[in-house]
Amino acid sequence: TYGIDFITTRLYFLYGHGLSQTVSSVEEAFKPPVHPISVLYLFITKALKNEKLKIEKGGDSELDYTYIKDAAHGVVLAYLTKNPPHKIYNISSGRSYTLKYLAKIVNDYVGYEAIDIGSGQVEGWPKRAKYLDISLANKELGYYPRYGLENGVREYMTILKNEIKLQ
For the chain, 167 residues long, the average pLDDT of each consecutive 10-residue run is 87 90 86 92 94 96 97 97 92 97 98 97 93 97 96 96 76
Residue 115: Cβ-neighbour burial (10 angstroms; 0-12, 13-18, 19+): buried
So what's the pLDDT on residue 33?
Answer: 92
**What tens digit of pLDDT does each residue of 94-112 get?**
999 999 999 999 999 999 9
**Measured between alpha carbons, how far apart are the two ends of the chain, in Å?**
53
In DSSP terms, which residues pair with 14 in a beta bridge? 66
